[in-house]
Structure 1
Amino acid sequence: MLPRTTSAPSKAAPASRSRLGRREFGALAGLALLPLAGCGLRPATAYTPEVAPGSIQPVDGLPDDATITVTGKNFTEQLILGKIGVLAAQAAGFTVNDLTNVPGSVPARELMTSGSADMTWEYTGTAWLTYLGETEGIPDKQEQWEAVREADAANGLTWLEPAPLNNTYAFAVRTEAIEELGGVSTLSDLAELPVEERTLCVEAEFNSRADGLLPMLETYGIPRGDADGVPADNISIYDTGAVYTATDRGSCNFGEVFTTDGRLDSLDLTVLEDDLGFFPAYNVAPVLNSTTLETYPQLADVYAQVTPFITDEALRELNLRVDEGGELPADVAFEFMVEQGLVTEP
């Protein structure tokens, strides 16, 4: 393992995300991984603020050399969650090797399954569909988590209780248009609208996915291409991220979004309820190397104190502070944990 290192903070450009299977090989401009002997990877920006205990207290009887390695991917939300994982362990008295900011899902996963990392934040749907090779996600959040937890135990990984955050697909509408669209609030409501009002903006990937737009519209009884459903002319295809702006400008009434994207708040978009449960669950949860957890069972309690605060609303705000406000993920994570009383300033 590598010793913990820090470097001077540097401003980063807003993160952009694409999907591996469904989600990530995100990139944060200006942040790269440097090869290094030993474990092989070290983040180019390992800056993390110093932290003192709050509600997370030092573990009683923890050896002075107790060390864990925290990893995570390199899109905005994961950069923030990774730093939260680092700070929580530091407050509990651990020395932390910071291997967050890994470029993509598969490399981060390999660090966990190989035993090179001890803790990460992972999404249930990503593990189920991408790592474990299942073909259909499970919309029920608890069932999806239980299925992943059981399957990943054979890989030497323990999934702790999931957070409320569920970063899945959704459709959103301009808040100011809700009333003129008859008070629409659920995806089922689209079937009650006049055909000409069923206009959709989607990304190219979602448009063509086997589990994307076509089956979603069929589930909600408004078949794609049908004159009485959603005619082809009602569907506009946009590059990743442009859907939000197009929806805000009224280029369409409903845009395909991700539920923890900060632009939902900054553009005042309202997410429609997926009332028939079409979209799979992508709840995030702390995942620990099972051997590490056996050695330090107190880690389960440490992260159990954090997960209730990891909500869609909270991460939309934090993501926006990084993507549009230009703040560092480490600083945003630290201030969030201080506000929740989990840690304090030293």
Structure 2
Amino acid sequence: MTPHLPAAARRPLRSLVALIAVAALVFGAAACGLQSGGALPLPVKPGSITVQPDLEGQTITVGSKDFTEQVILGYILGFSLAAAGANVRDLTNIQGSNSARDAMAAGQVDVTIEYTGTGWINYLGNEQPIPDSTKQFEAVRDADLAKNGIVWIDPAPMDNTYALAVNQENAAKTGVKTLSDYAALVKKDPATATTCVETEFRSRQDGFPGMAAKYGFDPAQVRMQILQTGIIYQAVANGNCVFGEVFTTDGRIKALNLNVLEDDKQFFPHYNAAVTMRSDVNEQFPSIAKVMAPVMAKLTSEQISELNRQVDVDGREPADVARDWLVENGFVKV
């Protein structure tokens, strides 16, 4: 979903590796490009996660996209598998959903944590989400396995969906509380509805174009600014953008006292996080599901929001935050 620049900037070498890898996929360069991921930045020892015979000493490449939550989830996945005995290659921080997905399909990445809404809309090409989160997961799981040989397991309760947000002053000034209110404002007075979004949201069917169609307004009427998502939160808080794209589990929403507009027509899909891997990886390493099930079950929206806040507000490293959370919950030891 959305990139977080500070986390990426702190990992120039890995970012370079990821960008080289993406270029290799796009331009058909040697497939080995993505295999140059490094070791995990911090050590872990088994806790409640114990060494599994099928994972012990085996090399597994863990990937993630390039925004804060995804990098944290990538490290949670990587540290968990390392505690189970795997030799984990760290290929977190791949730029963009499609590049991360292509890396898995090409065999460059073995396992990631992905979102059900992204799978259903972006990868499988469906236009309408399924309102029930369990049924949405089951539909993605079954369709992606049948069509692409991708296995989905261990869905988490956390649900990181898209939203629009506004600061307190502009909420009072415009009276906008819901996306229906926002649509009415766009139609009546588009000059007052300046909206900041990132590039991917602007073009995704489960993003701004689909939302505009659902709520009945012309997206061309909107005064739109394209920003990196890490900048959007502060821009909305400062009033430089009246409205801005946010993610509902982002810790900056609470930290900056932003109001999230109610999706009163329930357009945005559920984005429950789940472990994904190719079917050959699942067959070779059946213990991944066993190892990750209790970890994923702990990942509520509140939990991941707090972890995101520690990175985006407190300035901590995603790897430190991920490992500390696993230690606090007894999954690993240091």
TM-score by length of 1: 0.73
* 1:299 and 2:288 are equivalent in the alignment: yes
Deviation at 1:302, TM superposition (A): 1.1
Deviation at 1:148, TM superposition (A): 1.9
User: Structure 1: how far apart are the matches of 2:41 and 2:287?
Assistant: 22
Give the aligned partner of residue 150 of structure 1. Answer: 142
- CA radius of gyration, larger in: 1
User: Structure 2: how far apart are the matches of 1:267 and 1:42?
Assistant: 39
Deviation at 1:208, TM superposition (A): 7.0
8 Å contact kept, 1:139–1:277: no
8 Å contact kept, 1:48–1:331: no
Q: CA-to-partner distance for each residue in 1:207-248, whole Å, 9 max, x for gaps?
A: 676665566356457x459xxxxx95xx54223245433432
Deviation at 1:294, TM superposition (A): 2.4
User: Structure 2: how far apart are the matches of 1:292 and 1:111?
Assistant: 14
Q: CA-to-partner distance for each residue in 1:59-92, whole Å, 9 max, x for gaps?
A: 3x44743443222223322222111111111122
Structure 1 239/188 Cα, relative in aligned 2: closer, same or farther at 3 Å?
A: closer
Give the aligned partner of residue 240 of structure 1. Answer: 227
User: Structure 2: how far apart are the matches of 1:303 and 1:32?
Assistant: 29
Give the % identical residues: 44
Q: Give the alignment of 1:157-172 within 5 angstroms.
A: 157-172=150-165
Q: 1:83 is matched by which residue type in structure 2?
A: Y
Give the aligned partner of residue 127 of structure 1. Answer: 119
User: Structure 1: how far apart are the matches of 2:313 and 2:75?
Assistant: 19
8 Å contact kept, 2:34–2:103: no
Give the aligned partner of residue 95 of structure 1. Answer: 87
Give the aligned partner of residue 201 of structure 1. Answer: 195
Consecutive unaligned residues in structure 1, runs of 5 or more: 1-11, 17-25, 226-230
* 1:33 and 2:33 are equivalent in the alignment: no
Superposition RMSD in Å: 3.9
User: Structure 2: how far apart are the matches of 1:169 and 1:267?
Assistant: 17
Deviation at 1:278, TM superposition (A): 0.7
8 Å contact kept, 1:201–1:243: no
Q: Give the alignment of 1:325-336 within 5 angstroms.
A: 325-336=314-325
Q: 2:226 is matched by which residue type in structure 1?
A: D
User: Structure 1: how far apart are the matches of 2:179 and 2:242?
Assistant: 12
* 1:51 and 2:35 are equivalent in the alignment: no
Task: Count how many residue pairs are aligned between Structure 1 and Structure 2.
Answer: 314
Q: In terms of mean alpha carbon deviation, does 326-335 or 205-214 score higher?
A: 205-214
Give the aligned partner of residue 246 of structure 2. Answer: 257
User: Structure 2: how far apart are the matches of 1:32 and 1:314?
Assistant: 30
8 Å contact kept, 1:69–1:96: yes
Give the aligned partner of residue 216 of structure 1. Answer: 211
